Homo-oligomer: A and B are copies of this chain.
Amino acid sequence: MQVTIKDVAREANVAPSTVSRVIANSSRISQKTKERVRQAMDELGYYPNVHARSLANRTTQAIGLVMPSAATKTLQNPFFSEVIRGISTKAHQNGYSLYMTTGVSEEEVYEGVVSMVQGRRVDGVVVLYSRTDDKVVQFLQDSKFPFVVVGKPFSDSSHVTYVDTDNYLAGREVTKYLHQLGHECIAFVGGAQDLAVTQERVGGYKTALMEEGIPIQESYIVSAPFMTTGGAEAVKRLMSLEHPPTAVVVSDDMMALGVMSTLNEMGIGVPDQMAVVSFNNLFIAEFSSPPLTSVEINIFGLGFEATNCLIEQINEDATPYGKRVIVPHYLVVRQSCGGKSEA
Shortest CB–CB separation between residue A111 and chain B, in angstroms? 10
A81 to B227: give the CA distance in the assembly, Å. Answer: 14
Assess the B283–A261 pair: CB atoms within 8 A: no
User: Inside 8 A of A102's CB, which chain B residues have their CB?
Assistant: 88-89, 91-92, 96-98
A104 within 8 A of B: yes
By CB atoms of chain B within 10 A, which of A51, A55, A97, A264 has the most?
Answer: A51
User: Inside 8 A of A84's CB, which chain B residues have their CB?
Assistant: 100
Within 8 A of B (CB), among A89-127: 89, 91-92, 96-104, 108, 112, 114-116, 118-121
Assess the B81–A75 pair: CB atoms within 8 A: yes
A198 within 8 A of B: no
Stretch at the interface among A160-168, A178-186, A244-252, A284-292: A284-292
Check A48/B119 contact, CB under 8 A, given A97-B99, A260-B289: yes
A33 to B281: give the CA distance in the assembly, Å. Answer: 58
Assess the B47–A261 pair: CB atoms within 8 A: no
User: Inside 8 A of A287's CB, which chain B residues have their CB?
Assistant: 228, 257-258, 260-261
Within 8 A of B (CB), among A131-160: none
User: Inside 8 A of A76's CB, which chain B residues have their CB?
Assistant: 78, 81-82, 283
A47 to B108: give the CA distance in the assembly, Å. Answer: 16
Assess the A85–B92 pair: CB atoms within 8 A: no
Within 8 A of B (CB), among A60-79: 60, 70, 75-78
User: Inside 8 A of A91's CB, which chain B residues have their CB?
Assistant: 102
Assess the A51–B260 pair: CB atoms within 8 A: no
Q: What are 20 A-B contacts defined by CB distance under 8 Å?
A: A47-B118, A48-B119, A49-B55, A51-B51, A51-B60, A52-B55, A70-B89, A75-B85, A77-B81, A78-B81, A88-B102, A89-B102, A92-B104, A92-B112, A97-B99, A97-B116, A97-B121, A228-B286, A261-B287, A288-B289
Chain A positions near chain B (C-beta within 8 angstroms): 2, 45, 47-52, 54-55, 60, 70, 75-78, 80-82, 84-85, 88-89, 91-92, 96-104, 108, 112, 114-116, 118-121, 227-228, 257-258, 260-261, 264, 283-284, 286-289, 291
Which 5 residue pairs spanning A and B have beta carbons closest together?
A47-B118, A92-B102, A51-B54, A51-B51, A257-B287
